[in-house]
Chain A
């Protein structure tokens, strides 16, 4: 049981890490055509995440794999229940992933527009539908006695689940805009700052509604948990720091806002994994969905050894590329051979 809880925490951390890191990638994907009208500016915007997005996306793969390995019942119920939602998420991830690589390969504006469109659409589909899934786990979906999903497609779109998706999209937008302001120069930076200032109040309002809704959905009243109180403080701080123009601190604040928002869903979820709207007795829980002790022990050793190493080299990568990307760098130049 203790090991299962450890894996619940680790899974929650992986999902949180994904939304924090891929959050700004998704935001940049959504905003790259808005912050820059010309080719050098757009390339600079994409260039801010070019070396990073692929490694960030691995957090999602590992989160899914961790669920599969540590809680096969969670993975099986959730992924089969959200079948078509996952098809859409996969389409979004595929379109996004190839857009980065394909966009600069042909020097034609029609070609580029195509991959800009797929990047934008993919960056919208992914956070929204992942949010629907995340919210649905807590809100509850029809799950039968055999732990299998027993509802219809429409059952996946409760008001709370949809709002979770909307909140995540807004969080990604703000996170991405702040990231762009922090990592670019000149016109692109100026537009990103302006955008961040416009998005910040909307996102803050959404988060302020999302947190109590989460808590009451979990049947724990409207008084927020400690995690949610922290989230409130961070989102207010983010809104203020964005307006005040402190890019570095604003990015820190949006980072913690996303982290605490996602974590608060998991905190309210525990010890359940997928709430059954059919009957509370059919809930998928840490207790009834976990793998055996031996498997959890083996994976704990692997995770404890490897996770710090991964964090170290990913952190180092951020240091290597933590330099502002300027549109001038791409001005009138053809693609670098191996980009």
Chain B
């Protein structure tokens, strides 16, 4: 932020507020997206289980978690609208400059994913008694597919901001123009980033399902039913978080190649090192204090994480900054180190906690003690907070780590902001969205808590849901 003040003079507060607004609305939106994607997938699995086995417990679970899914979708969808409009509102120069490339995946997202997700969600919610069981099952899978597709397009767009590919700069306008659309979808940052986001979403959905099931098991309501959902969530959670961590680590290596600042910043590594150690905790290390006190150091670990090599070389922040100054002109190209260092650690440390709790649960499951393990049930309920912190930290790491660029190497964030918007205008908008989002958060939490603690509806009314019978 300090850099922007020095560089941008009078537009400073508008730029800061525009950034704050984007950060606030994106973080908020992304609290709901992973639940929607993850829980959508798991609800589809539950309904498939009902379809295959005919066991009414699975139907009860499908409807139970279906409501939680819908409460989330409602907020996720409407806050997504803000995202779609905000590029033009706050970042008009950015939109004008890169729309040729960046707009294409967004348009495809609407056509390929949003229509699918929204239309089939309506069919699923209201179609229990209007569609055949098979078509109704297909509807929930279409919803899940729509969510996953939507994430693919938005990640392709975002990955282009991290590592622009598939374009050429038009010599007349000076603007990047798309010249190879496949490159957007084979961008190495996209391939790993998308997989990582998808897996993180499934982790989020699985933890939500586990937390609710654990609470219900502890209260002893419908123990057989919620044992089934606890089992499903654990079986999905443990392998998924393991793979998510591995893919995340690979993503780090890839980003380190194209955005060395991001990775050096995550370790507050000011000087180039080889081999490089990793500090579990450190004090200091910011811009004004480049010699941090590392509390616990693990030798070679940073080299391994950043380059996949035991003795890999990691470029220091000062080194990269000098390179960038030679390449792009004078300036400070170092992102906020505090955010980089801690968001990376919050994400990684909490992932380990989730993994360990998941393994604990699996062990209890194998020993057939899941229903009676009160301590685990208590811990698993509170585990629900962690994926949200991890998801937020992950985005902070990747987006703050891109700064001061809005598109790496192509446009600085401060050059992308709308010139026609006053500070007051953005301030009004932030206040409006803050108040509205806070109110929605309260309603959402109240409703989620209310519906997560209800007993699952016993047997559905026959007029609405065909009894499980060998109809076909």
Contacts and interface: CB of A to CB of B under 8 A. Distances in A.
A, B from the same assembly: yes
Contact of A79 (B89, B100, B125): B89
B459 to A, nearest CB: 11
Contacts of A339: 125-126
B127 interface: yes
Contacts of B420: 80-81, 148-150
Interface in B436-472: 436, 440, 443, 447, 450-451, 457, 460, 464
Interface in A277-303: 291-292, 294-295, 298-299, 302-303
B421 interface: yes
Interface stretch (B4-12, B177-185, B326-334, B354-362): B177-185
B103 A69 contact: yes
A237 interface: no
Band of interface residues on B: 35 or more
A57 B118 contact: yes
The CB with the most chain A CB atoms within 10 A, among B80, B125, B127, is that of: B125
Given A54-B122, A69-B106, A77-B92, A295 B130 contact: no
Contacts of A230: none
A54 to B, nearest CB: 4
Interface in A69-87: 69-73, 75-81, 83-84, 86-87
Interface stretch (B199-207, B246-254, B312-320, B424-432): B424-432
B361 to A, nearest CB: 27
A98 B128 contact: no
B107 interface: yes
Contact of B110 (A65, A72, A317): A65
B89 A291 contact: no
A102 B447 contact: yes
A332 interface: no
B421 A72 contact: no
B351 interface: no
A54 B77 contact: yes
A71 B107 CA distance: 12
B137 interface: no
A68 B99 contact: yes
A86 B85 contact: yes
B112 A79 contact: no
B460 A337 contact: yes
A93 B99 contact: no
Contact of A338 (B102, B125, B177, B181): B125
Interface stretch (A32-40, A168-176, A216-224, A307-315): A307-315
A101 interface: yes
Contacts of B103: 65, 68-70, 72, 75, 291, 295
A44 B277 CA distance: 65
A80 B418 contact: yes
A64 interface: yes
A83 B109 CA distance: 24
Contact of A62 (B66, B107, B179, B419): B107
Contacts of A54: 77, 118-119, 121-122
A93 to B, nearest CB: 5
A105 interface: yes
Contacts of A93: 78, 81
A76 B93 contact: yes
A55 interface: yes
Contacts of A75: 87-88, 95, 99, 103
A233 interface: no
Contact of A320 (B107, B114, B123): B123
Contact of B84 (A61, A73, A87, A313): A61
Contact of A98 (B74, B88, B111): B74
Given A94-B78, A339-B126, A68 B111 contact: no
Nearest to A142: B420
Interface of B: 63-64, 66-67, 70-71, 73-75, 77-82, 84-85, 87-90, 92-93, 95-104, 106-112, 114-116, 118-123, 125-128, 130-131, 170, 177-179, 181, 418-421, 425, 428-429, 432-433, 436, 440, 443, 447, 450-451, 457, 460, 464
Interface of A: 50-55, 57-58, 61-62, 64-66, 68-73, 75-81, 83-84, 86-87, 90-91, 93-94, 97-98, 100-102, 105-106, 146-150, 291-292, 294-295, 298-299, 302-303, 306-307, 310, 313-314, 317, 320-321, 336-339
9 contacts: A51-B122, A54-B121, A71-B99, A76-B95, A79-B92, A295-B177, A337-B64, A337-B460, A339-B126
Given A58-B118, A94-B79, A337-B457, 13 more contacts: A51-B127, A54-B121, A66-B110, A70-B107, A72-B97, A87-B428, A97-B77, A146-B419, A307-B111, A314-B119, A320-B123, A336-B128, A337-B66
A-B residue pairs, 6 tightest by C-beta: A72-B99, A79-B88, A69-B103, A101-B74, A62-B110, A51-B122
